[in-house]
Amino acid sequence: MENKKKGRPLVTVFIKYRELGLLIILAVLIGIVGLRNSLFIKPSNLLFIVEDTSIMAILAAGMLCVLLVGSIDISISAIMALSAMVTGVIMRSFLTSTETVVIVDGVEKLVTLRESLPLALLVIIGVATGAAIGLVNGFLIAYGKVLPIVTTLGMQYIVYGLSHIVSNSTAVYRKDMSDAFFQFSRSSFLGINSKIWIMLGVYVLLFLFITYLRKGRWLYAVGSNAEAAQMRGIPVQRTIVMAHVVMGALAGLAGLLYASHDTKVTQDMASGYEMYVIAACVIGGVAVTGGAGKLQGVLLGALTIGVINNGLTMLRLTGNSEFWKKAIQGALILIAVISNVVLQRIMTRQSLARRNI
Amino acid sequence: MPKRGRGIGFFLHWEWLLIVMIAAVYLFFGAQMPQNYTFVKLLNQTRVYMVDVGFMALGALLILIMGDIDISVAATAALSCTVMVVVYSEGNGAPFALALVCALATGAACGAFNGLLVTRFKELFPMIITLSTQTLYRGTAYIILKDQSSGNFPDWFNSGLGYGSVTILGLQVPYMLLCILSVFPIFYIWIHRTGSGRRLLSVGANITAARYSGIRTDRIKVTMFTLNGLLAAVAGIFLTARIGSVKYTIGTGYEMQAIAIAVLGGASTAGGKGSVVGVLLALILMTCLKNGLMLLFNDAFILNLAIGLLLIGIVLGPNLVRAVQNIRTLQRQRRQATTSITGGA
């Protein structure tokens, strides 16, 4: 007994804060790339990585809600495309462009000012579109009892088709975007890009929701044991729908940011993005079976993927690293996921061993 | 299940539902385009819509029966074709048979790697593992082939296997169609009529119970993933025969189509369920539908939209009917209970 009082071994810290293992993996990754290319660990570059990862992090936060209730959503990239497309088409139809002469450094320049609906309204349209698709997903899964993967796989096809119909098979380009929308992902506050601020806002709100509000705790309850939750009086089906609506709304927001950042919206925008998001969640320690996972872990998972993506370019492995990038990306994600599992196994074994003593 | 409501119950039988759907789709498009949408032309189009996806769908069936999922099949097929093309055209005189064997071996190796990872790291959902191996396999194909497409195959492979057909009863039946149709009876007998198929189903239904009853679940899983990889390689070979060249993007998105067909055929992603006949019928349904939609709209997005609606609709429909039935039974039981109570008192 005295031993215990003296001090806690390092292992217990790891057991309490499971995200630490991930933090180590992240630090090792950054260290390896930093050794090879010192430009990588400059603060400005690290900030750039966060900025680059913010869209994925927003999506991963939504995916956490969906995974927590034991569901999954692979239609998010389609939702991103649809909400960006709906917003883009509406923006294009209300667009008025005026040409004015601006004097920059004593030189006259012809500048086109593009104005459309106010940015706030556009964002509301995009988020509402995403939330509507999320609502359909949730209803099909919770009330229609269609398996989540099947539902969202089908919805992926349907929603991409819808974005094709909405846009009448045209793309939205920079010339169709209002200046405010163009600046949406570019403006900065206190030297930090707006995408990071939006991501932080989403994370703080969602953290408060998941941790302190009753409805947020329901997510965990439904995911870990739906039957017990039902007995306890928790509206299981409504909670599942709610999780999907949150996911859809965040996917809509992410779609707008992606479109503004990319300065174009095509019908197959962001295809394949959902895989990175799910990988980020799994690296972050979210159980795909539901009921377990933390927002902190998800953020770290998304950053790990971001570091892998950006670090590979910085590594300059071969003359033409573009060919190597894809394969190494897959391998690294696999290694990150597996090493997280191995670390957790070691921790569990240690904690069990301690309890025996 | 109650015996009442038999009229609806008949259509709840999955295979019948699929047959009715096939008939409906065939008659609908046949009425729309009597010139272009004929059985003979449909038979010719089966090589585009039925063969390569069909092999992958059989693999997806095996994996779905076990309650797992494999998203890396299309990437496996791409890597196998890449190996085949490299061995044949850059190996300086390597016989084509050797290239084929190498392709099959690559597919099996990719599948076995998936299977080993899935069984060694049970905490991870198979979806995540195959997600990352997908990038890995396609990336490897990208490294090997770079950005170019390659292909210079023997005549019997391209024009023979790819576009040749044999006349049976006055109908031009593609060789490829015969190949895939000959595989289905084997799978049917294996999965539904032998002990090994039954063990496979039991692994999906309840893996703990299967393990306690002496089934080597891990070994079965690895074997099935290997077989799935092998089927993916076969699909890739047929795909190459049809297209005539290999690029690293070959077969992108086929994994989702394969899963969709297996689910349409009655497999559940929860495992323990699946029927070979269902997959065959779903494959025929998809062929009829895709060909018709392509002729009518000539737009891949509309095609995908229809497939998505079909996928959700065909799973949702029986669920809703069953839910209504359950509510009705409950109401009836409640009514009986109240009448018996009031009658007794």
Give the pLDDT confidence of B288-335 residue by residue, as tens digits.
888 888 888 777 778 888 888 887 887 787 778 778 888 888 888 888
| Average pLDDT rounded to a whole number, residues B103-115 | 92
Q: How far apart are CA B286 and CA B284, in angstroms?
A: 5
CB-based burial label for B99 (10 Å; 0-12, 13-18, 19+): buried
Q: Which residues contact B117 (CB under 8 A, 6 or more apart)?
A: A334, A338, B124, B129, B133
* Strand-pair category, A107-115 with A96-104: antiparallel
In angstroms, the separation between the Cα of residue B343 and the nearest Cα of chain A is 32
In angstroms, the separation between the Cα of residue B320 and the nearest Cα of chain A is 7
8 Å CB contact of A157 and B302: no
Highest mean pLDDT, choosing among A46-55, A275-284, B186-195, B222-231: B222-231
Give exposure, B279-291, as e/b (b: 16+ Cβ within 10 Å). Answer: bbbbbbbbbbbbb
8 Å CB contact of B139 and A328: yes
> Which residues of chain A make contact with B259, given a CB cutoff of 8 A?
149, 153
**Closest CB from A147, A275, A288 relative to B270:** A147
DSSP-based three-state secondary structure for A168 = coil
Element (H, E) at B166: strand B165-168
B257: pLDDT strictly greater than 90: no
Q: Is B91 on the interface with A (CB under 8 A)?
A: no
Split at pLDDT 50, 70, 90, the class of B1 is very low
Element (H, E) at A89: helix A76-93
Q: Is A164 on the interface with B (CB under 8 A)?
A: yes
DSSP state of B158: I
C-beta of residue A193 within 8 angstroms of C-beta of residue A285: no
Which residues 114-143 in chain B show a CB within 8 A of chain A?
Answer: 117, 121, 123-125, 127-129, 131-140, 142-143
8 Å CB contact of B125 and A288: yes
| C-alpha closest to that of B100 among B153, B166, B60 | B153
8 Å CB contact of A338 and B124: yes
A110-114, A249-253, B57-61, B138-142: which has the minimum mean pLDDT?
A110-114
Predicted local distance difference test score (pLDDT) of residue A244: 92
CA nearest to A333 within chain B = B132
More confident residue, A250 or A181: A250
DSSP-based three-state secondary structure for A101 = strand
In angstroms, the separation between the Cα of residue B168 and the nearest Cα of chain A is 37
Split at pLDDT 50, 70, 90, the class of B226 is very high
Q: Token digits for B318? A: 């029986």
A181-185, A194-198, B225-229: which has the minimum mean pLDDT?
A181-185
> Which residues of chain A make contact with B138, given a CB cutoff of 8 A?
326-327, 330
Q: How far apart are CA B190 and CA A113, in angstroms?
A: 69
C-beta of residue B58 within 8 angstroms of C-beta of residue B259: no
Torsion of CA A17, A22, A25, A28, to 10 degrees: -60
pTM: 0.79
- Number of residues that this document lists for chain B: 345
CB-based burial label for A315 (10 Å; 0-12, 13-18, 19+): middle
Q: Token digits for B199? A: 């063990």
Split at pLDDT 50, 70, 90, the class of A321 is low
Q: How far apart are CA A23 and CA A21, in angstroms?
A: 5
Q: How far apart are CA B234 and CA B77, in angstroms?
A: 8
8 Å CB contact of A330 and B134: yes
**Share above pLDDT 90 across residues of chain B, in percent, rounded to a whole number:** 12
In angstroms, the separation between the Cα of residue B8 and the nearest Cα of chain A is 18
CB-based burial label for B211 (10 Å; 0-12, 13-18, 19+): middle
Give exposure, B122-160, as e/b (b: 16+ Cβ within 10 Å). Answer: ebbbbbbbbbbbbbbbbbbbbbbbeeeebbebeeebbee
Element (H, E) at A96: strand A96-104
Q: How far apart are CA A247 and CA A137, in angstroms?
A: 10
8 Å CB contact of A279 and B316: no
Residue pointed to by tokens 């709100």: A205
In angstroms, the separation between the Cα of residue B268 and the nearest Cα of chain A is 8
Residue pointed to by tokens 């163009």: A182
8 Å CB contact of B311 and A153: yes
CA nearest to B147 within chain A = A323
Split at pLDDT 50, 70, 90, the class of B11 is low
**Helical residues (DSSP H) of chain B, grouped into ranges:** 6-12, 14-32, 39-49, 51-65, 73-90, 96-120, 126-145, 155, 175-193, 195-205, 207-212, 217-243, 254-264, 276-297, 300-344
- Kindly list the distances between the CA atom of residue A273 and the CA atoms of A47, A63, B21, in Å, as whole numbers in the listed order: 22, 12, 34
Mean pLDDT, chain A, as a whole number?
Answer: 80
Torsion of CA A39, A41, A46, A52, to 10 degrees: 60
Residue pointed to by tokens 């009330």: A143
Q: Is A77 on the interface with B (CB under 8 A)?
A: no
> Which residues of chain A make contact with B309, given a CB cutoff of 8 A?
154, 158
> Which residues of chain A make contact with B319, given a CB cutoff of 8 A?
144-146
Q: Return the residue in A320, A326, A333, A340 with the most chain B beta carbons within 10 A, the one to mutate for interface testing.
A: A326
B260: pLDDT strictly greater than 60: yes
C-beta of residue B100 within 8 angstroms of C-beta of residue B233: no
Mean pLDDT, chain B, as a whole number?
Answer: 82
In angstroms, the separation between the Cα of residue A139 and the nearest Cα of chain B is 11
Q: Return the residue in A143, A152, A153 with the most chain B beta carbons within 10 A, the one to mutate for interface testing.
A: A153
In angstroms, the separation between the Cα of residue A111 and the nearest Cα of chain B is 38
- Number of residues that this document lists for chain A: 357
